[in-house]
Chains A and B, each alone.
Chain A
Amino acid sequence: MSPQTVIFYCLAVIIILSAVIATFARNIVNAAYGLFFTLLALGGVYVLLRADFLAVTQIVIYVGGILVLLLFGILLTNRRLEDLIISGQRSSLLGVVMGCVIFAVLLAIIFYARWPQSENAQLEGTTAPLGYLLLQNFLLPFEFSSITLLAALLGASYLVRPSERD
């Protein structure tokens, strides 16, 4: 058993357990911390997949940005400090059945399809090639995504502006 195998299974167990917490935890803060471990362990999986730049990007943007935003959202939208924020479950049986069906379909596709067995050659570092790809082949989407980010920023700050009546 190669070390990669051991590391992969450890990470997979962490990912699945914490994703289950993120999905089913009644306390929404616990769910957010479940998401934290999912994202962190996924970063580890990206390293296994030789995507070092993406692994760090994952941690910077998801853990350092999106997750903190989520926690802020939770802390800003509860009225009292004393009681925990409990999120109710709605028609959980239907949801679980739906999830299982989708999972079964996905599994069927994964095992039915014939995937390429090849493995791409290892790069010493993905940063420079990624930079070239972004600024040569994907220049238009790259520039467009910056406009999207700006629009999202403006939209978000417009939505949460103090209302005129106050």
Chain B
Amino acid sequence: MTLEIGLIHYLVLGAILFALGIIGVVTRRNAVGVLISIEIILNAANLNLIAFAKHAAKGLALPGLQGSAGLDGQVFAIFIILLAACEAALALAIIITIFNRFGSIEVDYANTMSG
């Protein structure tokens, strides 16, 4: 543990978040709980991307714009947030459909497709 905050610190934080998200996805039975864990995973990815955007040696730079190198990482993060919004809306629609059909949002109940 060093006093100066560098890239490694952010990456470790992202790794912790990612691992927690994986644990949640595997252990949760509630569909909303699974969704919460997926959001944590996406955020871990975002954190890594933005950390790289600050620390990357080479990045896409706008012509004539000093210091814009590496901002493409932030653009990727914007796209991830956008897709997370799509995913949350669709997932909630699916969850509500599952609730109407099976009377519960425990994912174990929705097993009519398994053989």
Contact = CB atoms under 8 A, between A and B. Distances in A.
B39 A88 contact: no
Nearest to A4: B5
A87 B15 CA distance: 25
Interface string B57-100: 10110100111111110110111011111111110111111010
Nearest to A58: B81
B19 A102 contact: yes
Interface string B8-46: 111111011111111110111110110111011001001
A20 B19 CA distance: 10
Interface size class of B (residues with CB under 8 A): 35 or more
A107 B12 contact: yes
B3 to A, nearest CB: 5
B55 A126 contact: no
B17 A15 contact: yes
Contacts of A122: 67
A12 B68 CA distance: 27
Contacts of A8: 5, 9
Given A23-B24, A94-B26, A98-B23, A50 B54 contact: yes
Contacts, number: 262
A92 to B, nearest CB: 5
A110 B88 contact: no
A125 to B, nearest CB: 11
B56 interface: yes
Given A92-B27, A141-B79, A145-B82, A62 B39 contact: yes
B82 A98 contact: no
A51 B86 CA distance: 23
B26 A99 contact: yes
B79 A156 contact: no
B33 A31 contact: yes
Contacts of A129: 62, 65, 68, 71
Interface in A27-47: 28, 31-32, 34-35, 38-39, 42, 45-46
Contact of B74 (A22, A38, A54): A54
24 contacts: A2-B4, A20-B20, A42-B43, A73-B92, A77-B105, A89-B29, A90-B29, A90-B108, A95-B27, A98-B22, A110-B11, A120-B59, A121-B66, A121-B67, A126-B74, A130-B78, A133-B75, A134-B78, A138-B72, A141-B79, A152-B90, A156-B90, A159-B93, A159-B97
